[in-house]
Amino acid sequence: MKILYGVVGEGMGHSTRSSVLIRHLLENQHEVIIVASDRAYHYLKNNFPGCQILEIEGYKFIYEHGAVDRSRSLTELIKRLPEMLAKNVKQFIKLCGDFNPAVVISDFDSFAYTFGVLNDLPIISIDNIQMLNRSEIEIDIPQKYQGDFKLAKAIVKSKLPGAQHYMITSFFYPKLRKERTTLYPPILRPEILNQETSTGNHVVVYQTSTSDHELIETLKTSDCEFRVYGFRRNENHGNVILKDFSEKGFVEDLASARAVIANGGFSLMSEAVFFGKPYLAMPVKKQFEQVFNSLYLEKMGYGMFCEELTAETVRTFLSRTDEYARHLESYKQDGNELIKRGLDALLGEIENKK
pLDDT tens-digit profile of 319-333? 999 999 999 999 999
Asked if residues 5 and 73 have their Cβ atoms less than 8 Å apart, the reply is: no
Tell me the β-bridge partners of 6: 35, 106
Give me the domains of the chain, ranges plus CATH numbers.
Answer: 2-188+335-353 (3.40.50.2000), 191-328 (3.40.50.2000)
Asked if residues 318 and 221 have their Cβ atoms less than 8 Å apart, the reply is: no
186 phi/psi in degrees, rounded to 5: -55, 145
Rg of the chain taking only CA atoms, in angstroms = 21
- How much is the pLDDT for 59? 57
Rounded CA separation 77/127 (Å): 23
- How much is the pLDDT for 74? 59
Apex 253 CA angle, 252 and 258, nearest 5: 125
Rounded CA separation 322/238 (Å): 25
- How much is the pLDDT for 129? 94
Task: Classify the C-alpha dihedral 179-185-188-190 as positive or negative.
Answer: negative
Asked if residues 289 and 152 have their Cβ atoms less than 8 Å apart, the reply is: yes
Asked if residues 293 and 235 have their Cβ atoms less than 8 Å apart, the reply is: no
pLDDT tens per residue, range 269-280: 999 999 999 999
Query: What does pLDDT average to in each consecutive run of 10 residues of the chain (354 residues)?
Result: 89 87 97 89 91 77 56 61 64 72 94 92 96 96 95 93 97 96 97 96 85 84 94 93 93 98 96 98 91 97 96 97 98 96 97 84
- How much is the pLDDT for 251? 97
pLDDT tens per residue, range 78-106: 566 666 665 666 677 677 667 789 999 99
Rounded CA separation 30/33 (Å): 10
Q: Calculate the alpha carbon distances from 288 to 20, 32, 59, 109, 141 in Å.
A: 26, 32, 17, 19, 10
pLDDT tens per residue, range 9-34: 766 788 999 999 999 999 999 999 99
- How much is the pLDDT for 195? 97
- How much is the pLDDT for 304? 98
